[in-house]
Each structure stands twice: as C-alpha cells, then as structure tokens.
Amino acid sequence: MASMALDFIRDGDIVGLGTGRAATAFVRALGQAVKAGLRVTAVSTSQVTAALATQLGIPLATLDEVSHIDVTFDGADEVDPRLDLIKGYGGALVREKIVAASSRRLIILVGAEKLVPVLGSRGILPVEIVPFGLPLCRRRLTELGCRPAVREHDGQPFVTDNGNYILDCSISPLSDPAAFEQAILGVPGVVGTGLFIGMADTVLVQDGDTVTVQQRRDP
C-alpha cells in the first residue's frame, strides 16, 4: 500500500508526513523513492517521523518555510463511510491536524480493520489538553459523557511534542461527531481532538493483498 501511495506524488511536491505505523511504512517507501531520484520536500507531524525521514535522506522543512503542502499521507484509527476519521492513538493528533489543514490533499492509509460504521465504534477519542487545565478538562469532559483517562508512558503522563497531555476519552458511537467535537473544544484547556471531520480526500484500504481506493463524496 505504501508503494501505491507514491503514485499520488509528483516530482517537486511538498509532502506532509504523518505519524504511526502506516505513516512509518509510507515514509520508508518515500525514502527509497528519494534515493532513486524523486525530488520532494517533507513536513513532519512529529519528532519521531522527522528523525526517521532524516535518517532516510528525505529533505525536511517547517511550515514556516513552505507556502503550502501538496499532499499529506497519514494513518487513522477509525474511518467511517463518509471518510471522517478518529486519529491520535499515536499521540500526534494536533500536529497531524495542523499539517492536514495546511494540505491541498489528505490521503489516509489504513487496514480494513480500521473501517467502522460509525465514529466512536472502537470506544476511544484522544483529546489533547494543556497540563494546567487537567482538573477542569477532566471534570467537563466527564459531564459531556466521556470517561477521560490520562494517557501514561512508563508510569508518567504521556507528553506530546507540544508539551501537552492526552486524555483518552471512553465514548459510545457518535451520532453527531461534529457537534460533539465543538462541545469538547468549548472546554478551556482543550487544544484539539482526534476527530478529523471533512478532512480526508482519499483513503487507501488494504485488505490482505488487495488495496482499494475510496474518494470523498461531497454532499
């Protein structure tokens, strides 16, 4: 699937690089293409991905240094029939959303197991928060019907590349994801959610040896 995704890149493109297992496979494929002569400049969504891209010889730039991003490749944790997403199990949701919003096209790479009938089917929505706001955010998110838990790493709160915490919110399937996101964003201290509504243009789905392409259909 990663090699198939390369077909969406033109020589000279500015390419956004996601974070997570699917994105890592893509970055490795892109590194091979760059070594073979493909010219690109990449913008990374995380320090981990940036380190891998540097190791593979992929030229990197920051958002300050580019006028746009032609296409971003990333994974997702849930994809519904409208191609709306839940992301953030890898912890880079806010930077991923910023890069996606800066892109002319967002292409998502997933296995068939990530397809869900309704967002929230896997039961977890990551929400990035400012550490100072933890008590308030935890209380307000509970009032919204979430059951928030601070994500941990080695017994300590997981800290994002932005210096923030993530609350993994236990949720039920969402009847109105956009409205739910707006309610969460109204809580002081919330930086962003893992809901990516109306952002993905194309989803490549791998099921065994078969890869299918799904395109967003605007209403």
7 is in an annotated binding site: no
Helical axes 21-35 vs 47-55, angle rounded to 10°: 30
143 is catalytic: no
88 is in an annotated binding site: yes
97 is in an annotated binding site: no
Is there a contact between 81 and 31 (Cβ–Cβ < 8 Å)?
no
194 is in an annotated binding site: no
Task: Return the structure tokens found at 184.
Answer: 């969460």
Give the DSSP H/E element, type plus range, for residue 35.
helix 21-35
74 is in an annotated binding site: yes
Give the DSSP H/E element, type plus range, for residue 48.
helix 47-55
87 is in an annotated binding site: yes
65, 78, 96, 181: the active-site residue: 96
Is there a contact between 2 and 28 (Cβ–Cβ < 8 Å)?
yes
42 is in an annotated binding site: no
Long-range pairs, 146-152, Cβ under 8 A, ≥24: 146/170, 146/171, 146/184, 151/91, 151/126
SS (H, E, C) 69-106: ECEEEECCCEECCCCCEECCCCCCHHHHHHHHHCECCE
Pairing outcome for strands 156-157 and 195-196:
unpaired
35 is in an annotated binding site: no
Q: Report the binding-site residues.
A: 74-77, 87-90, 114
Binding residues for substrate: 74-77, 87-90, 114
Task: State the catalytic residues.
Answer: 96
